[in-house]
Structure 1
Amino acid sequence: MITTAELYFHFLKNPIVSTDTRNISPGCIFFALKGDHFNANEFAEQAINKGASFVVIDEENYVLNEKCLLVDDVLTALQDLARHHRKQLNIPVIGLTGSNGKTTSKELINAVLAERYKTFATFGNLNNHIGVPLSILSITPEVEVAVIEMGANHQKEIELLCTIAQPTHGIITNVGMAHLDGFGGFEGVKKGKAELYAYLKETNGYTFMNRDNPYLLEMSSKADLNKLIYYGTENGNTIKGNLKSSDPFIEVEWTNHEVSSAVKTNLTGSYNFENILAAICIGDFFDMNPEEINNGLANYEPKNNRSQLTKTENNTVICDFYNANPSSMSAALNNIAVLTADKKTAILGDMFELGPESATQHELIAKQAADSGLDQIILIGKFFYAYKDAFKGLFFETPAEAANYLQQNKIAHNLILLKGSRGMKLESLLQYL
């Protein structure tokens, strides 16, 4: 069996890691992970033939030659390698989690810090027990500060990811009605996310906190009160800000006790105001001046269908269909309700991973949509469809049925909110809008 130290020796000579034989780079190290329906040990030979320098496997019968590195468990080996690499990096690492806004906040923080520092940020949503190790192993020696996104759908997961990323600073964007099934309800969400606070307290790290959020304040008992840096809309915070405009793009005024400033962003959705304030607070903590902070925010362009404003031939669409939960869905409905437009339509898809709360939460969102005053409501998915006789709107069991309707009943000159869980694949409807 190869040790972590021996594996790290190979990694330093071949610092590219792959877990997918479809993405083999010459000279990489391939980790043969297992899943419920696959065993990548079976692809070790294929990885070598494609140019991998080494393959890490945990089944002896797949050892072919000296390029096969045998370990007890491939996933554990990957995580241990990342932990070892992290210990060699003498840099600030900002750990970030939350029910909503994780990826947008991560991108904004990175955009701000990159105005002065050589930064690394989690690519896409590589934020789980596999993604975080891959992110850590992607940090190169020239990086000065890293922003690591950490996702979770059950308790103790953030605790595990903290042992890998070993953050020196951290932020929980918010806590909401997400992954209720895995966390065991909203109280479980708060307990699970607070594992980041507990880790930072134990390791003498700094915590950034939105003082306007009562749930985060409640959870602050888990944090080191002497190393809390607050932001929010009231006096007494390190960063105080107010939402100047959000129709459709967000403008923010802010002050750090010494200098007042203002910035106009390319983000839509008033719910992103707190994500912007978080980036300002972290930039300020790392000694950046207002001009640098504002440049980072103003130049950031949202992508990946998160609060992304898209102009089609016929409509303006708020593309927010990367994911959804009751908290983010409610916020998105509140946002479109106050935006200026002649006609407004909401097209919403089912929300997943809500467990026993699913029926109640879909009913609440269906009611909010019906009462929102929008010109048209279209609800899609089996959970929403259960309320087709209870609330105003058009209901479809599948996106395909909704597509057929939209093909025959064109929507034009509307501001459209398109939002649902990733599994609903609502991007398939964009071509009809």
Structure 2
Amino acid sequence: METIKTIIKSVKAKDSLIKNECQIQALLTDSRSLTHPIDVLFIALCTRHGDGHKYIEELYKKGITNFLISKPIPGFAKKCPNANFIRVDDTLKALQDIAREHRKKFNNPVIGITGSNGKTIVKEFLNQLLRDDLQITRSPRSYNSQIGVPLSVWNLKPSDQLGIFEAGISKPGEMETLERIIKPTIGVITSIGSAHQENFSTLSEKIEEKLHLFVDSDCIVYNADDKQISAGVCNAGLDGRCIGWSRIDTSAPLFIQSIVSDEDTTDISFRYFGMEQTLKVPFTDKASIEDIIHCIAVILQFRPAVLSKKERFMQLDPVAMRLELKGGNSGNTVINDSYNNDFNALEIALDFQKRRARKADTRKVLVLSDILESGILPETLYESVAELLKECEIDQFIGVGKDLCKRKKLFADIPQTDFFESTPDLMESKVLDMISNSCILLKGARQFKFEQLCDKLSRQIHETTLEINLQAIANNTLFYKSKIKPTTKMVCMVKAQGYGVGSYELAKTLQSTHIDYLAVALADEGKELRERDIDLPIMVMNPERSTWRMLFDYRLEPEIFSFGILNEIIGRAAATGQHAYPIHIKIDSGMHRLGFGPDDIPKLGKILAAHPEVRAMSVFSHLAAADDPSLDEFTHNQIHKFEKASKELQSYLPYKPLMHILNTAGIERFSEYQFDMVRLGIGMYGCSPNKIEGLETVIKLRSTILQVKDIPAGEPIGYGCLGVHDKPVKIAILPIGYADGYRRQLGRGVGKVLIGDHLCPTIGNICMDTCMVDVTDVPNVTEGQKVTLFGDPRLTIEDLSSWVGTIPYELLAVLSTRVKRIYFKE
């Protein structure tokens, strides 16, 4: 908590207008995350994706009276007469200054973690291992950016005994800023990979930048077997303060003597300056083992007594890095976040629920278990929880656990409440069966086994699922934004149900990244998005003459590609009293699909100029071969034809329409022709037409093994008896076939699936509802085991499309609606 005067001093304000003295308890940078307006400072960030200043008046009406801005005060003060305003040159820098000054008040240890992979896992493992002994504040989820780090450090409280914060960077110069905010006393650098590599010339340069976090740290933990990190540590002159662990070098301070795994657990034996010890952990995968070794090294330096409490290591829970969003029974939506239950995580999950709940006729339901090992007195903790739920306007609250049952009265202000001492008690009741048309958030400590509730509330337990990482969609969109100018607008294609992914969830995610336009194929698709509160401008690429009323009623902007359709919309617009109704003019620059030809431009320009009922918001064309270097001459010719036609059209108009021609492949290869706007399609999903690096995997198609069979040599398998082998084989039957969109051409060994670390070929023909794969070489294969059909670096959707001679678009678009979509956010 800081006074408004302290804030003014921290940020070196250029100007201020203070109407009321107050204490600042919370910082807000996203207007959509507002829950409690009292004692909040809204920081109006100006980024290439949006301007926070435009939300000031709206937030003032909701009760916020403290604003940190970078624009002149008088205009805002007139509209918000009782508000406090602080003006600075750069609001992001000011946010960082506030956090830096706040950090200076604390002398307790702080652990800073950086790297490409494993930051959040190491942070959460350390929290689990140390929380019984210490009061800890840590980064919520993966808040590790230039904005996330100061918001995390601001949460440090006088009662805290330890802070654990992540730091992530995407370009040179950023880590110095984060170091001044975090000031870690202990540092951890995890593995280094290619994420955000596009702004660094070499991996060594990126390592050097990350190591800036530890310039004043007392101790730095790293994997000494990683030669590049070791070289970076040495070059930075940090080796004298480092604890490098090694599986190779017996002279390393922390030498890992052996790592022995069985089916479910691993024994890690190590020697530290002559002391030998073995710890058993409930993981067998390489990444988790490395993350735990980092934790062991930190604990040896910071709190070695914890190593004697071996049961804590076996009680480590997997860290779920996602919020799962599932369709439910009775019109419900289910948000499953039953992995990490503390007060900070509850706030974030409630914010996610608020954003996903519809504005009209959709109730917000929270199912919450006791919050365990919080380090806060139960009465104080649950008073805060009750106040938070009241602020979030929860319609129904279901509490599970003895602590919550004892404190029912605290939640009396919530319209509907129910309390149960255990999850089985809730399951046996009829309470869950009575919930309908609601957004249900499940937030439970792991021991309460809320996954049972998730299964009960989901429509059905599907054996085959399409997992969609919404955060990866957002990250890929921002990746392509980094390749265009800040002033260039972006259209994102969500037609055909978002290429089969789901247009609403896709549109909702894209809206949060502040893109400029969405594009759908048909008016019905746009109507559906409008009815689900998508407010972005929406282009309709294939408008039908029967849908003019729908276009007008739902503010949908049609593509116009012929004089017939142009004259009709002008007539309809005139008849309904429209003025300057937005349309988009399609130019045929050589693809010869839809659009006006170059010879049509004079006539087109005269019609548009004579009819104020419509306004050409943009003029555009489509590249036919931007991904094919052998056709670059054709592509350049298309661009020049388009540019000439567009400028000629503009000469007839009293305004300037936006120009755009680049698709995903065009953004990658011809960014110099970005004009005013670009259109992003398949790149959002992590598929690069030109195989550029830096994109994240968005979609994973998964199934499970229904049955395992041993088939003698020479026995036929599947329709047509075409799956025949000259030796005995073991096969697995999967519940996915061509009715699900798994192409028939993938049968007879053309396609492969991933089971564990093994790529297993198909056997025989793909059936309508099932397929068979060869698992002869897969050890310990069992019924119910998970199978990946694409979405892994070892088995991509591009691999499948190349095997059957098509493109990733088609494989996505044909996936059946009976394949359950599961949306999550890393």
Q: TM class, shorter-chain normalised?
A: 0.7 to 0.9
Partners of 2:303 and 2:126 lie apart in 1 by 14
Contact 1:158 1:193 in 2 (8 A): no
Larger displacement relative to structure 2 (190-199 or 208-217): 190-199
Which residue matches 1:284?
A: 300
Larger displacement relative to structure 2 (164-173 or 229-238): 229-238
The number of residues matched between the two structures is 379
The Cα of 1:244 is off from its aligned counterpart by 2.0
1:136 to 153, 156, 167: 153
Partners of 1:194 and 1:119 lie apart in 2 by 29
Contact 1:18 1:29 in 2 (8 A): yes
Which residue matches 2:211?
A: 197
Aligned pairs for 1:150-161 within 5 A: 150-161=167-178
> Does residue 122 of structure 2 align to residue 105 of structure 1?
yes
Partners of 2:195 and 2:205 lie apart in 1 by 13
* Cα distance change, pair 6–323 in 1 and its aligned pair in 2 (3 A): closer
Which residue matches 2:253?
A: 238
* Cα distance change, pair 276–367 in 1 and its aligned pair in 2 (3 A): farther
The Cα of 1:252 is off from its aligned counterpart by 3.2
The Cα of 1:373 is off from its aligned counterpart by 2.8
> Does residue 389 of structure 2 align to residue 379 of structure 1?
no
Aligned pairs for 1:22-421 within 5 A: 22-24=32-34, 25=36, 26-60=38-72, 61-63=75-77, 64-65=80-81, 66-184=83-201, 187=202, 189-201=203-215, 203=216, 205-221=218-234, 222-234=236-248, 235-241=250-256, 242-245=258-261, 247-248=263-264, 250-256=266-272, 257-265=274-282, 267=283, 269-289=285-305, 290-292=307-309, 295=312, 298-305=315-322, 313=461, 351=686, 357-358=692-693, 372-374=758-760, 375=773, 378-379=789-790, 384-388=796-800, 390=802, 396-397=808-809, 400-401=812-813, 403-404=815-816, 407=819
> Does residue 41 of structure 2 align to residue 16 of structure 1?
no
Partners of 1:354 and 1:247 lie apart in 2 by 40
* Cα distance change, pair 251–379 in 1 and its aligned pair in 2 (3 A): same
Match of 1:175, SS? coil
Which residue matches 1:334?
A: none
The Cα of 1:238 is off from its aligned counterpart by 3.4
Deviation per residue, 1:60-98 (Å, 9 max, x gap): 222334422222221111011111111111122221111
Match of 1:358, SS? coil
Q: Which amino acid aligns with 2:816?
A: N
Larger displacement relative to structure 2 (273-282 or 235-244): 235-244
Partners of 1:388 and 1:321 lie apart in 2 by 20
Partners of 1:297 and 1:320 lie apart in 2 by 31
The Cα of 1:144 is off from its aligned counterpart by 1.4
Partners of 1:395 and 1:98 lie apart in 2 by 34
Q: Which amino acid aligns with 2:251?
A: G
* Cα distance change, pair 102–361 in 1 and its aligned pair in 2 (3 A): closer
Partners of 2:788 and 2:310 lie apart in 1 by 39
* Cα distance change, pair 22–112 in 1 and its aligned pair in 2 (3 A): same
Q: Which amino acid aligns with 1:379?
A: F
* Cα distance change, pair 228–359 in 1 and its aligned pair in 2 (3 A): closer
Partners of 2:137 and 2:281 lie apart in 1 by 25
Contact 2:115 2:189 in 1 (8 A): yes
Deviation per residue, 1:274-301 (Å, 9 max, x gap): 1010011111211232134651562333
Partners of 1:402 and 1:275 lie apart in 2 by 39
The Cα of 1:140 is off from its aligned counterpart by 1.0
Partners of 2:810 and 2:252 lie apart in 1 by 47
Which residue matches 1:339?
A: none
- What's the Cα RMSD here? 4.4
Deviation per residue, 1:353-398 (Å, 9 max, x gap): 9997539999xxx9997994345763359x9555446559997437
Larger displacement relative to structure 2 (250-259 or 36-45): 250-259
Match of 2:126, SS? helix
Contact 2:225 2:246 in 1 (8 A): yes
The Cα of 1:322 is off from its aligned counterpart by 8.3
* Cα distance change, pair 118–360 in 1 and its aligned pair in 2 (3 A): closer
* Cα distance change, pair 223–68 in 1 and its aligned pair in 2 (3 A): same
Q: Which amino acid aligns with 1:404?
A: S
TM-score relative to the length of structure 1: 0.72
Contact 1:104 1:275 in 2 (8 A): yes
Partners of 1:322 and 1:246 lie apart in 2 by 35
Contact 1:119 1:145 in 2 (8 A): yes
Match of 2:315, SS? helix
Contact 2:169 2:210 in 1 (8 A): no
Partners of 1:226 and 1:67 lie apart in 2 by 49
The Cα of 1:129 is off from its aligned counterpart by 0.5
* Cα distance change, pair 218–358 in 1 and its aligned pair in 2 (3 A): same
The structure with the greater share of residues assigned to helix is 1
* Cα distance change, pair 247–402 in 1 and its aligned pair in 2 (3 A): farther
Contact 2:196 2:694 in 1 (8 A): no
Partners of 2:104 and 2:21 lie apart in 1 by 14
* Cα distance change, pair 359–72 in 1 and its aligned pair in 2 (3 A): closer
TM-score relative to the length of structure 2: 0.40
Partners of 2:137 and 2:118 lie apart in 1 by 18
Partners of 1:246 and 1:427 lie apart in 2 by 31
Larger displacement relative to structure 2 (5-14 or 175-184): 5-14
* Cα distance change, pair 4–297 in 1 and its aligned pair in 2 (3 A): farther
Match of 2:47, SS? coil
* Cα distance change, pair 304–359 in 1 and its aligned pair in 2 (3 A): closer
Partners of 1:81 and 1:399 lie apart in 2 by 49
Contact 1:57 1:74 in 2 (8 A): yes
Partners of 1:316 and 1:5 lie apart in 2 by 56
* Cα distance change, pair 58–194 in 1 and its aligned pair in 2 (3 A): same
* Cα distance change, pair 253–49 in 1 and its aligned pair in 2 (3 A): farther
Contact 2:797 2:808 in 1 (8 A): yes
Largest Rg, 1 or 2: 2
The Cα of 1:220 is off from its aligned counterpart by 1.6
Which residue matches 1:415?
A: none
Gaps of 5+ in 1: 325-348, 411-425
Contact 2:135 2:161 in 1 (8 A): yes
The Cα of 1:216 is off from its aligned counterpart by 1.4
The Cα of 1:177 is off from its aligned counterpart by 2.2
Match of 1:277, SS? helix
Contact 1:96 1:150 in 2 (8 A): yes
Q: Which amino acid aligns with 1:18?
A: L
Q: Higher RCO, 1 or 2 (CA under 8 Å, sep at least 6)?
A: 1
The Cα of 1:133 is off from its aligned counterpart by 0.6
